[in-house]
Amino acid sequence: MPAAKKLVLTYVDSLRTDMLERAVAEGRAPTFGALIERGVLVPDCVSSFPSVTPVASAEMVTGVGADRHWISGMNWYHRLERRYVEYGSSLEATRAFGVFRALYDLVYNMNLAHLSPEVETVFESLEDAGERTACTPFLIYRGRQRHEVSLDGLLRRAVDATRLKFHHHTWGPTELFYGDLYASREVPCKSTSIPGNRDGYAACCAGEMLKEDLYDFLLLSLPDNDNYSHRHGPEASVESIAKADSCFAKFADAAGGLDEFLAGHALILLADHAQTEVHRGLPLAELLSAEWSVLQPSEERPERAQLAVSPTGRAAHVYLLPGEGERAEPMAVAGRLSVIEGVDLVCRLEGSDGLPLRREGPGMPARGGEWAVVERGEAALRFRPGGGVEDLRGGEWEIEGDLAALEAKVEEGRLRSETYPDPLGRVWSALTAPHSGDFVVSLAPGFEAVDWGGVSHAGGGSHGALHAGDSLGPLLFVGCGPESAGEREQWTLRDVAPVIREHFGAA
């Protein structure tokens, strides 16, 4: 059997299909346009829920949802450690939790402590199969090779100035480049820790690896589109898509141009999620603190708090805490959430006795017949895995209640929702993840949860909700994967890792 072509997974953060097509039509993204002409484009690949980068990235490289990979948002509450985990919602939020606490969580703990040890990343699977893997800066990079810290640039100066230590080694692919922290070898590429200025570094590192023939599988991360869209809104993102296109073209030039690149490479190009316009920030923690004690970022007595609130873009987790004193009553919290302006969906688990399921410990609830409940206004829908109704991916569900809660319909025994794609599977995965809140809320169009630094992207764009506008992005296969987009009725990020493994015979 001939050796498989090398495979490059290229991810453009927050890439919307309509904006990609506009950039191509305007001649601003000629390389991406050429790839679309040669490949199979899925225009509506479904993201994770919450549709934020940590959750989506984990789904992308493991092939499973949050119920199995365990990453639940940009911010979540660690029940065992009684603290928030913050992955960098904003610089202000990072400061609120402590820069180096947040840095350890983002770079080190996310991969080696928070990501489930029971699932494999594609880096691990392919390394075990004898393939050489590589990664430019990307949130989920866990692999088989040990890498020492190589502090550089602004980060080194910050560490020196505060006299703090960041000395942990990590485990990643054979070749790992993570900005100022990890570099598996010296390259003539200028690293920067400034958001919105990272595409060039990633493409430079990738080009150097291509010229030296250092990988069989490469994850090329082009994240700057996300920052630009957050600041200027998704409708302005042709500019940042053009930049990503130019960076990819420079990478392909290291092979002699796009034709030569594709002669030796297969390609998957995708987004982790999309973005929608945001007009208002929703201070969820502040609103709930009018009735309950809400855990603060630097709380000295966390046992006194009744609730923990984790904003994660256009979604949020709300946790019922088992602290000292009077506990928050679950249905009272659910009722309050349901009438807050800007909250679209309130999702929770319910026991087989019909009562709200309170998450007492750090792990998953016992799967003894619980239901997921989604409430939207006066409409409520209950569902759980089982027989009766099939979703567009072939999953089977038992459902009760009002389909209007998810703007869904059932035709010939199959449930679909244009407004909330793959709603049953995504909500179930989010709610049964071990670090999920007792409530997961999805916000209405135009709203974003204010983070713990007091920041929202009002006036720009954001993502995180179950809504289609946040959740649907392009997925392009060139030289691998399906022969047509119609091979699946509904593609999701969970389908990416299996295609990669199959390409290398490591499925």
Q: How many CA atoms lie within 13 A of 189 on its CB side?
A: 29
What is the pLDDT, as a whole number, of residue 100? Answer: 82
Do 399 and 265 lie in one domain? The reply is: no
Mean pLDDT of 316-345: 94
CA distance 468 to 146: 39
- Using 50, 70 and 90 to split pLDDT, how confident is the model at 368? low
- Percent pLDDT > 70 in the chain is 94
Answer yes or no: do 223 and 335 share one domain. Answer: no
Mean pLDDT confidence for 191-208: 88
Please determine, for residue 349, whether its predicted confidence score (pLDDT) is greater than 80: yes
How far is 184 from 171, CA to CA, in rounded Å? Answer: 11
The counts of H helices and E strands in the chain are 17, 24
Tell me the DSSP string of 148-199: -----HHHHHHHHHHT------EEE-SEEEETTTEESS--S-----STT--H
Residues 201 and 285 in one domain: no
Q: How would residue 371 be classed by pLDDT, with cut points 50, 70 and 90?
A: very high
Do 427 and 477 lie in a common domain? Answer: no
The model's confidence at residue 155, banded by pLDDT at 50, 70 and 90, is: very low
Whole-number pLDDT of residue 206:
98
Domain assignment of residue 35, yes or no: yes
Residue 270 has pLDDT above 80, yes or no: yes
Query: 254 and 361: one domain?
Result: no
Q: Which two tokens stand for residue 494?
A: 């969970």
Per the prediction, the chain carries an average pLDDT of 93
The confidence score (pLDDT) of residue 159 equals 47
Q: Do residue 366 and residue 229 come from a single domain?
A: no
Predicted TM-score of the model (pTM): 0.95
**pLDDT tens digits, one per residue of 457-498:** 999 999 999 999 999 999 999 999 999 999 999 999 999 999
pLDDT for res 265: 98
> Is residue 292 domain-shared with residue 358, that is, in the same domain?
yes
Helices 30-38 and 17-25: angle between axes, nearest 10 degrees:
110
Q: How confident is the model at residue 325 (pLDDT cuts 50, 70, 90)?
A: confident
Tokens in use for 94? 């990072």
Q: Classify residue 357 by its DSSP letter.
A: P
Instruction: Tell me, yes or no, whether 211 lies in a domain.
Output: yes
CATH number at residue 35: 3.40.720.10
Contact between 343 and 443 under an 8 Å Cβ cutoff? The reply is yes
Q: Is the pLDDT of residue 181 over 90?
A: no
Query: Does residue 161 register a pLDDT over 50?
Result: no
Q: Report yes or no on 286 lying in a domain.
A: yes
Token pair 């569902």 is found at 383
Angle between helices 17-25 and 238-253 (to 10 degrees): 70
What whole-number percentage of the chain has pLDDT above 90? 84
Residues 154 and 214 in one domain: yes
Exposure string over 300-314, b if 16+ CB within 10 A, otherwise e: eebeebbbbbbbbbb
Q: Is residue 76 part of a domain?
A: no
Report the distance separating Cα 501 and Cα 507, nearest Å.
5
Specify if 85 maps to a domain. Answer: no
Do 406 and 479 belong together in one domain?
no
Given a cut of 90, is residue 365 above it in pLDDT?
Answer: no
Using DSSP's 3-state secondary structure scheme, residue 91 falls into: helix
Residue 325 lies in a domain: yes
Question: Which class for 234: exposed (0-12), middle (13-18), buried (19 or more C-beta within 10 A)?
Answer: buried
Distance, CA of 337 to CA of 253 (rounded, Å): 52
449-463 b/e (C-beta count within 10 Å ≥ 16 → b): bbbbbebbbbebbbb
Q: Is residue 156 part of a domain?
A: yes
pLDDT in tens, 208-248: 999 999 999 999 999 999 999 999 999 999 999 999 999 99
* pLDDT tens-digit series, residues 377-392: 999 999 999 988 999 9
Other CB atoms within 10 A of residue 337 CB: 21
Distance of CA 472 to the CA centre of its chain: 13
Q: Tell me, what's the pLDDT at 364? A: 52
Q: Looking at residue 163, what is its pLDDT?
A: 42
- Model confidence at 55, in pLDDT bands (50, 70, 90)? very high
Q: Using H for helix, E for strand and C for coil, what is the string for 283-332? A: CHHHHHCCCCCECCCCCCCHHHCCEEEEEECCEEEEEECCCCCCCCCHHH
Count of domains observed in the chain: 2
- 357, 473: one domain: no
pLDDT score of 162? 43
The answer to the question of residue 80 being in a domain is no
Among 182, 231, 290, 223, which Cα is nearest to 54's?
223
Q: What would the pLDDT profile of 283-319 be if each residue is shown by its tens digit? A: 999 999 999 999 999 888 888 899 999 999 999 999 9
Q: What does DSSP assign to residue 110?
A: I
Average pLDDT over residues 410-425: 97
**Whole domain around residue 53: which residue ranges?**
6-68+119-275+467-503
Q: Which helix (H) or strand (E) holds 497?
A: helix 496-503
Distances (CA, A) of 20 to 426, 471, 478: 25, 15, 16
Note the pLDDT of residue 152.
Answer: 54
19 and 124 inside one domain: yes
Whole-number Å distance between alpha carbons of 406 and 427: 11
Say yes or no: 263 and 301 in one domain. no
Structure tokens at 114: 């928070």
